Each structure stands twice: as structure tokens, then as C-alpha cells.
Amino acid sequence: MRCIGFALGLVLLAAVPALAQKVDSKGVPYRAWDVDGGVGFLSLTSADSGVGDEGYSSDIWNPSWTTSFDVGHFWNNHLKTESGVSILQRHTTWSNEIVPLAGGQRGHVATTNDIQQVQVTAAATWQFFENTFAHPYVTGGARFGLLQIDSTSETYLFPVSGNGYPTRSSEPVHSDSLKARVWPFIGVGSKSYFNERSFVRPEMTLAFNGRGPSQFGARLVFGIDF
Amino acid sequence: MTNCRRFIGALVVLALSIPSAAMAQFETAGEAERWHDLAERLEPAALISVRLKDGSRTRGTVVGVGSSTMTFAPKTRIPVPPRDIRFDDVASIERTKQGMNPGAKVVISAASVVGGMLAIAALIFASGID
């Protein structure tokens, strides 16, 4: 049984080059799919990287290393639609809140947010030149940010009168939540080939939120056409 | 009188255009022969860059030479069949070299940038130790 599966796999692999290579209306050959993966950095404003209730200025930039993977489909020699996923570094934010309590006492709620952001992209890419070893391109689309937030809140009580240290009133409270955000983005890059199929792709992107540019990224990915 | 002026003007324009057209014809005929001779003298697998009169430029190798055309194999990423190019359509033929592929250039550039940054970081770290 295993032998049959192996043979079928071999047949499929052998058929891939013939199946995938296409020729557009101008007679230019191209391969219909590509996959790639690589590393880079992404700098996000606190409005895009934080929970949103930290009270930070929204335009403080926070850098993060990223690992990303993409798969793309060429509709002709120039136009590609692509989806990908980028995993950002974990990021911690803090928020503080003073809560007035009965009897003139004040409470202090300190919250730590441990944030893991994953971004999913959907993009359309236009690459220049035909069947060459270097294809500069422009790209644009939407970037969906999924923030998994692990929050820990601790409440402290200030003394009613006089000086003194606040005392913790209860055990830390843990909570998990998810936030989703979406941003439009644009980018430029160059798909530069080592040989007929394998390539490296340096790329720079800029994403926007309601206040203007909010994410700047650069990455280097390696991939293969099939 | 106006018709006479127009007629003389047309004659002048015609007289001026005839020699240049004849010269262009002559040059084209001569050029084609020269490109033919040059293509014949190229050694096998010589990489050349051909610019056509429509402005397009292609790199590749000559795989055959006829009386009025050469068979040219373009150097493309995905191989394509050789095609015939008429010597009449050729604007220039230049020898070119096989350079490093763009992928390797990108990797070397990226490595240089990262190496430079590491060197700067090392210098900053070393100056901080003192």
C-alpha cells in the first residue's frame, strides 16, 4: 500500500512541471504558482500593535522581527494574487487605571498584556518584464491583524488617609481575548531568480490606519515557482 | 499666386526628402549585409545583445545564419524556442557577458548590509567595554 502511494506521489511530481507551466496570450511562458518563506522586520505604531487602552501615544513605533510564508497564483505573465501569513514577536504592554472606591478610597488596577500578533495578507501583485531573471513588482491589498491577548490584572488599594504603600487587594486575574484589525497596504519589491524556478524576493511594505502610515516592513523571502 | 506658392513649396519638400529616403534605403541594405557578416563570424554559443529597429532588445545566442535572417535563441528564464530575426530589422549587435544572476546579487547585497550592521554593532559594543 505504501509502495502504491510512493509511486503515485512520483507520478504526480513528474506531472507538476507539465501541468503548471502556462503560456499567456502573447506566447510568454510562465509558471502558475509560487511559494516562499523568509524573515524580515515590521515596525508598527502602538495603535496597531497594542490593545488600544494603554493610553500610549498612537504614533510610537515598535519594531518586531517577522517570519512569513506566502503562496501566490499567477493569472497571466504579470498579475498574481497572493495570500500569506506573518508571525510577529510577542509584545508586552501595560495599562494603569485609578478607580475611585466607596469611602474615599482609591484602587489602582495594573494590567499587563502579553500580545501575540499574526497577520494574514491578501494581495494583488503586478510584476514587470516578461520571462526574465529579475521582475520588479508593485503590490497592494489588505492585511488582517489577529491579536491574541493574554492579560493579567492586579488591583491595589491605596490607604484611605496619610502616607503609605498600596496593598494588593486580591490575586492576579488572568483573561484571554482576541482582537482583529484590518489595514490596507502597498509595497514594492523584486522577484530575483537564481535559476528557472528558485528566487529571492526583497520587499518593502507600508500599511495605513485611519491616522496615516502605521506599519513599515522589509523582508527577504526565498521561494520556488511550480 | 497662392496655388503657385503651394506648388513650389511642395516641390521643395519633395526635393529635400528624396535624397534622404534614398540614403536610408542604401544604409539599410548595407547594414543588413554587415550584420550578416558579423553574425557569421561569431563563435559558437557567443552571448550577444541584439537591438532591433523597433527599440526592443534581447540577449541570447545565434544558432544559425541564413542569407537574410539569423536564428536566435533568446536567453530567457524559462526556455523558449529559437526565432528568426531579419538582418533588415537589426539596429545593433553587441557582445555581452554572462553576469551573476539577480538572485545571487540580492543575497550578496543583503549579506553585505547585515554584515555592515553587525560590524557597526560590534564597534559600538567594543567602544562601550572601554
Tell whether B57 and B74 lie within a shared domain: yes
Out of A29, A131, A133, whose CB is closest to B102? A133
Tell whether B35 and B84 lie within a shared domain: yes
In chain A, which residues touch B (CB < 8 A)? 21, 29-31, 131-134, 190, 192-196, 198-200, 202, 220
Average confidence (pLDDT) per 10 residues, chain B, 130 residues: 69 58 54 91 91 93 93 94 94 90 91 91 83
Specify the amino acid at residue A16: V
Instruction: Tell me how far apart the alpha carbons of residues A171 and B25 are, in angstroms, rounded to a whole number.
Output: 96
Tell whether B90 and B114 lie within a shared domain: no
Tell whether B70 and B11 lie within a shared domain: yes
Tell whether B58 and B83 lie within a shared domain: yes
In a 10 Å sphere around its CB, with 0-12 CB exposed, 13-18 middle and 19+ buried, how is residue A30 labelled? buried
Please count the CA atoms within 13 angstroms of the CA of A213 that sit on its side-chain side: 10
pTM of the model: 0.79
Tell whether B74 and B121 lie within a shared domain: no
ipTM of predicted assembly, 2 dp: 0.74
Number of domains in chain B: 2
pLDDT of residue A108: 85
Question: Under CATH, which architecture does the A22-96+113-151+174-225 domain have?
Answer: Beta Barrel (2.40)
pLDDT of residue B125: 87
Residue found by looking up cell 506566447 in the block? A27
CATH for B43: 2.30.30.100
Tell whether B90 and B109 lie within a shared domain: no
Per residue of chain A (226 residues), what is the pLDDT tens digit? 555 655 555 554 555 555 568 998 888 899 999 999 999 999 999 999 988 877 777 678 999 999 999 999 999 999 999 999 999 999 999 988 888 888 777 888 889 999 999 999 999 999 999 999 999 999 999 999 999 999 999 988 877 776 677 777 778 999 999 999 999 999 999 999 999 999 999 999 999 999 899 999 999 999 999 9
Can you list the positions of beta strands (E) in A4-104?
Answer: 21-23, 29-31, 33-45, 61-74, 79-88, 91-100
Residue A21 region by backbone torsions, left for phi larger than 0, else alpha for psi between -120 and 50, else beta: beta
pLDDT of residue B13: 64
> Would you give the DSSP letter of residue B43?
P
Tell whether B19 and B34 lie within a shared domain: yes
Structural domain including B51 reads 2-99
Give me the total of CB pairs closer than 8 Å, taking one residue from chain A and one from chain B: 44
